[in-house]
C-alpha cells in the first residue's frame, strides 16, 4: 500500500485530518493555518501487534483502556485502531487491496471516530435548501444518494453523502458538518439523471456504482439541520408524505445512525439516545414513500421542496 513520506492535510466533517495514507476523496485543507495542529492524525503500522491484541480478547472488535481505544479487524484487509478520538492507526494485512483499505477507513472507521467525538453520524445524504440542511435516511439501496444527486442537478448544493455528521451547537441546534464533495451513484441512477458514467471511477468491486464528484455544487460550511426524511417503499405504489409522531421520529434517528451496531460496543448507548431524542425534537421528521418501480427522484425532490417551504420546524 502506498504511504506518503509526509502527511497530507484534508478537511472533512468539520475536522482537520492529517494522513500518510493518500485520501483522494477528501478535499485538501487549503485554508488552514500553517502549523495548526490536526484534529485527526492517520498513520500506518504493521499488523502483528494489533492482531495479537485482538486475538487476546477473542473478538474482531476490542474496546479497551478505559474507553479510550477501539480496534477492529476487517478480514483480508486491515486492522484499524482509534485512540482518544484523535489518532487512527491503519495496519494493512499482506496482499490487501489498497482501495478496500481506504473504503473501510472512510466508512466504518470514520463513523466510529465521529461517535468518539460525540458527533452523531446518520446513514444518508444531505443537501442545502435555502440555507438549511435536509437529510435523507433509509436502508441501503433505497435511493438516498440518487435523491441528493437530483437536488444537485436542480442547482442545490450537496452537504454530505453516505454519512451525515450532526453536531449540536451550544444552544442544542443540530448542525450538519459537511463531508467531502463526492457521491456514490449506481449506473441506473446516472442514466435516470441523464449523467454519463464514462468519466467516473467505479467504487471498489462495484462495477455498476461510481464515484461522482460534486465539484462546485458542494456546501463546504456547517449548516443547520432543518429536516429529516426517511425514505420508504409505498404500499400503494405512489409518492406520499407521512408526518411522524414523536416516538416514530426518535425511531428514525436511532435506527438510521450509521453503523449503529457499534454503539453498545463503544459504551455510548446513553449518549446516543439523548442525542437522538434532542435532534428528533428540534427538526421536522417525515417519512417519504415512493413506488418500488420507476425513476422518481425528481418528483421526490419536488415534494421535499414543498414541505421545506412550509417552514414548520419540529412538526
Per-residue pLDDT of the chain (315 residues; tens, 9 = 90+): 667 668 899 999 999 999 999 998 888 876 555 567 899 999 999 999 999 988 888 889 888 766 688 999 999 999 999 999 999 999 999 999 988 999 899 999 999 999 999 999 999 999 999 999 999 999 988 999 999 999 999 999 999 999 999 999 999 999 999 999 999 888 888 889 888 766 787 776 656 788 888 888 999 999 999 999 999 998 888 899 999 999 999 999 999 999 999 999 888 999 999 999 999 999 999 999 999 888 899 999 999 999 988 754 444
Beta-carbon-side half-sphere exposure of residue 244 (alpha carbons within 13 Å):
24
For residue 266, give the C-alpha cell. 463503544
pLDDT of the residue at 314: 41
Examine the domain organization and report whether 183 and 283 are in the same domain: yes
Same domain, yes or no, for 105 and 148?
Answer: no
User: What pLDDT, on the 0 to 100 scale, is given for residue 199?
Assistant: 78
Instruction: Say if residue 249 is in the same domain as residue 131.
Output: yes
Same domain, 109 and 132: no
Q: Is residue 175 part of a domain?
A: yes
End position of a domain, from candidates 68, 90, 116? 116
Dist CA 197 CA 111 (whole Å) = 28
Answer yes or no: is 1 within a domain: no
pLDDT of residue 312: 47
| The pLDDT of residue 295 | 86
217/271 same-domain check: yes
The SS3 assignment for 1 reads: coil
DSSP strands (E only) in 151-304: 157-160, 163-168, 174-177, 182-186, 201-203, 206-213, 223-233, 240-243, 284-290
User: Which residues does 258 contact at the CB level (< 8 Å), separation at least 6?
Assistant: 111, 121, 122, 123, 162, 163, 164
- The residue segments making up the domain with residue 93 are 8-116
Q: Do residues 242 and 191 both lie within one domain?
A: yes
Same domain flag for 150 and 241:
yes
- Please tell me the total count of domains within the chain: 2
Does 163 share its domain with 245? yes
CB 61 within 8 A of CB 85: no
The CA-based diameter of the chain, rounded to the nearest angstrom, is 58
Q: Are residues 39 and 69 in the same domain?
A: yes
The closest of 31, 19, 8, 27 to 181, measured between CA atoms, is 27
The pLDDT assigned to 66 comes to 63
- Decide which of 93, 116, 139 is a domain's last residue: 116
Same domain, 247 and 124: yes
Instruction: Determine the pLDDT at residue 206.
Output: 55
Same domain, 160 and 257: yes
| Last-in-domain residue among 58, 88, 116 | 116
**Same domain for 255 and 199:** yes
In three-state secondary structure terms, 132 is strand
Amino acid at each position: 500500500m502506498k504511504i506518503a513520506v509526509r502527511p497530507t492535510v484534508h478537511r472533512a466533517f468539520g475536522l482537520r485530518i492529517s494522513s500518510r495514507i493518500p485520501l483522494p476523496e477528501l478535499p485538501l485543507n487549503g485554508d488552514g493555518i500553517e502549523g495548526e495542529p490536526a484534529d485527526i492524525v492517520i498513520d500506518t503500522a504493521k499488523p502483528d501487534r494489533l492482531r495479537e491484541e485482538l486475538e487476546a480478547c477473542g473478538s474482531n472488535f476490542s474496546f479497551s483502556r478505559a474507553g479510550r481505544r477501539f480496534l477492529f479487524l476487517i478480514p483480508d484487509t486491515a486492522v484499524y485502531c482509534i485512540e482518544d478520538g484523535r489518532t487512527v492507526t491503519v495496519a494493512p494485512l499482506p496482499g490487501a487491496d489498497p482501495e478496500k483499505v481506504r473504503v473501510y477507513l472512510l466508512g466504518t472507521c470514520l463513523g466510529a471516530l465521529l461517535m468518539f467525538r460525540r458527533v452523531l453520524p446518520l446513514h444518508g445524504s444531505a443537501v442545502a435548501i435555502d440555507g438549511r440542511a435536509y437529510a435523507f435516511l433509509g436502508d441501503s439501496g433505497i435511493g438516498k444518494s440518487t435523491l441528493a444527486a437530483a437536488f444537485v442537478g436542480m442547482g442545490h448544493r450537496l452537504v454530505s453523502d453516505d454519512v451525515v455528521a450532526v453536531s449540536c451547537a451550544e444552544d442544542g441546534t443540530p448542525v450538519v458538518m459537511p463531508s467531502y464533495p463526492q457521491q456514490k451513484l449506481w449506473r441506473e441512477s446516472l442514466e435516470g439523471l441523464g449523467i454519463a458514467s464514462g468519466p467516473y471511477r467505479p467504487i471498489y468491486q462495484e462495477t455498476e456504482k461510481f464515484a461522482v464528484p460534486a465539484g462546485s455544487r458542494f456546501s463546504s460550511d456547517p449548516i443547520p439541520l432543518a429536516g429529516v426524511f426517511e425514505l420508504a417503499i409505498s404500499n400503494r405504489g405512489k409518492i406520499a408524505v407521512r408526518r411522524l409522531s414523536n416516538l416514530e421520529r426518535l425511531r428514525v434517528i436511532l435506527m438510521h445512525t450509521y453503523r449503529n451496531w457499534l454503539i453498545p460496543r463503544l459504551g455510548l448507548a446513553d449518549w446516543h439516545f439523548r442525542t437522538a431524542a434532542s435532534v428528533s425534537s428540534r427538526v421536522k421528521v417525515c417519512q417519504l414513500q415512493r413506488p418500488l418501480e420507476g425513476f422518481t427522484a425528481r418528483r421526490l425532490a419536488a415534494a421535499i421542496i414543498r414541505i421545506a417551504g412550509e417552514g414548520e420546524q419540529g412538526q
